Structures are given as C-alpha cells and as structure tokens.
Structure 1
C-alpha cells in the first residue's frame, strides 16, 4: 500500500514539474499561430505565372475567410445561337475576423505575352464575393444586342447581412493594398477581367456579352 501511494506522489510531482514547460510551449505555439495568420491575408500572383498562356484562363485566389468567387463562361455557335450567364452568390449569418493587414497584388512577369480571355479574382480579407462572367454568341441569323436591363443587372448578392468581428486596436495602423505592378501583363492580348479586393464585405463583378453575326 505504501508503494502505491509513493508511486502516485511521484506521478503528481512529475505533472507539477512539467506544467510550466507545457504553459511555455502553449505560449510559443500561440505566437507562431498569430504570425501565421498574417500570411492568410496576402494574395499574390508572381514570378512567371501564366506567362505565355493562351485560350480561356480562369483564376480564383483567396486569402482569408468566407470569400466567394466564380469565373463563368457561356459560348454558343449556331443558326439562332444565344448565350447568357446568370449567377447568384450569397452568404449570410457568417462571422469573420478583420485582418489588420491585407493585400492582393499581381507582380513579377505574370501573364506576360498571354492572350485570350483571362478572368482573375483575387481576395484578401473576409466576407468578399467576386464574379467574372463572359457570354459569346456567334449566330447566322441577325445580331442579338444586350439590353440595358441586362447590363445593369447585378449577379452578386454577397456580404449583405454577414456579420464581421473587428479586432481591437489602433485602426490607423491597418493597411489595405491592391495593385498590378508595372512588370506584369506586358504584351497581353485579348479580354482581361480583374477583380481585386483587400478588406471585408466587398462585392465586385465584371460582365462581358458579345453577339456576332456569322457569314
């Protein structure tokens, strides 16, 4: 019986001795975790990404939480061809933290010499929605024109009603950055759709509709 009690005391002493080390490890992990979160708010296309690419190019790149993105294509060829794109993107009752620093950038030699239809969505932050839509109709009978109602129609219903949690602190130290560096996109030929967002609860879209009469 005495041996059992002694064993229990040794185990308890071992746990008490280990507890400061465990607390220290937890603090260090927390510091590393906080540092890692900084990378989650930076979206960057760099180097030789998509340089020389041809055809239909679609890129969705998001850093953060609760971002919704779509690149849609509709192409029709025929005697009475018609092409259309309709999209609804919606989110509600979500919660996300506001990043202290956020950036969405295209740099390096990205898309140099590329051509065709390129649609890019870049988001850094929380609760953002982005849409690129292209519809092309090559018809043998007449030319179908886009109506004013269609051109003014928004297919993005995004962060309305979404709840965000702002971090305490000095807001003057927060940074938001979007941009295309001078070295990117040199020699690109064709249609380029680009949505860049750094922040939260933003909704952006690009729509292109083309109708052409064939021979």
Structure 2
C-alpha cells in the first residue's frame, strides 16, 4: 500500500499561489488629470497633485498695480531626516480632454514618488514709467529645493518604472500661460517662473 501525505499534496499549489500573489504586489503611485478636467476653464488656476511620500508643491501668483508697484516672492519648503519607500511604479500624466479650450493662467504640479519639490511662480507689476526696473536678484527671489540629499543607494531604483506624459488629446487650444511640472521618481526639484514688469506712460 502506498501512503502519500496529504499535507504535501496541499502545500504545492498553495505555495504557487503565494508566489503569484507576491508578484502582483507592487507599490504604485500615480497622478493623472483626465476626462474633461478644467476644460473651458477661465481665470487663474493652481493645481497640485501628489502621490507618494514627502512631496512638496506650491503655486504662487502675485499682482501689483500702482505708481510704485513692486513684487518680491520668496518661498521655502524643507524636510529633514525623513525615510520613505520609493515606489516600484510611478507615473504622472495628463490625458483625455483635460484643459481643452481653457484660457488664463494655469499652474500645475504633478508629483509621483518620494521627496520631490515643485514650484510655479507668476508675478506681474504694473507701475508708472521710470519708477522701477526688475533686476536679476528680483527674478531669482523664488526657488525650489528637494530639501534633502540624493539616495545613498541609487542602484536601488534599478528595475523600477517611471513615466510622465501629456497625451496628444489633452490641452488642445489652450490660450494664455501654462506652467507644468511633472515628476516621477525621487528627490527631484523643478520650478518654472514668469515675471512681468510693465510700465505705463506718466500722465
């Protein structure tokens, strides 16, 4: 008589299922603007989208009008001694009919991952002719910082997936100013700035 332990027969398929389940467990971070989001929007719009840990974002808009109009923008964000797990798959995208036929000023930050910093700045100063001029120091007043150092083990990101995209169907016929930062990964710092200084004739 041949006796086969039942525990051995049950263990084999259970182990295979566990292996398949583990392969499906990935840490996924994703930000996506889709559908008809912000389509035909008008005016001043700021959007911050983040998926993951320790991400920092800011939209800054400032307008000054007057005889001695002037603007200075200073921003600061910081983080120290924080620990987070980098995602296996990170993506940031804009698709669908998002922002179709929109008009105005649009400042958008999309971050997917860990420890990223993003900044948008728009300033406009309308002053009488000859009152003031914008110098390099004024333009450089805004900055972004990841607030930390690079990963001590860059090779740890090997085999991980990172992607950013603006699909061809999105942002069609947009008019005005569009600022877009898209980041997928870790410890990235991005910024875009638009500074206008307009003089009007003295009356």
Fold conserved between structures, TM > 0.5: yes
Q: Secondary structure at the match of 2:50?
A: strand
- Matched length: 181
Separation in 2 of the partners of 1:99 and 1:166? 14
Q: Does residue 110 of structure 2 align to residue 122 of structure 1?
A: yes
In structure 2, stretches of 5+ residues that fail to align are 1-17
- TM-score computed with the length of structure 2 as normaliser: 0.80
Q: Secondary structure at the match of 1:149?
A: helix
Do 1:52 and 1:112's aligned partners in 2 also have CA atoms closer than 8 Å? yes
- Taking a change above 3 Å as real, the CA distance of residues 100 and 209 of structure 1, as seen in their structure-2 partners, is same
The aligned counterpart of 2:128 is: 140
- TM-score computed with the length of structure 1 as normaliser: 0.75
The aligned counterpart of 1:81 is: 69
Greater fraction helix: 1
Do 1:156 and 1:205's aligned partners in 2 also have CA atoms closer than 8 Å? yes
- Taking a change above 3 Å as real, the CA distance of residues 143 and 195 of structure 1, as seen in their structure-2 partners, is farther
- How far is the alpha carbon of 1:163 from its aligned partner? 6.4
The structure that has the greater radius of gyration is: 1
Cα RMSD after superposing both structures = 2.5
The aligned counterpart of 2:3 is: none
Q: List structure 1 runs of 4+ shifted beyond 6 angstroms.
A: 162-168
Do 1:96 and 1:126's aligned partners in 2 also have CA atoms closer than 8 Å? yes
Separation in 2 of the partners of 1:165 and 1:42? 23
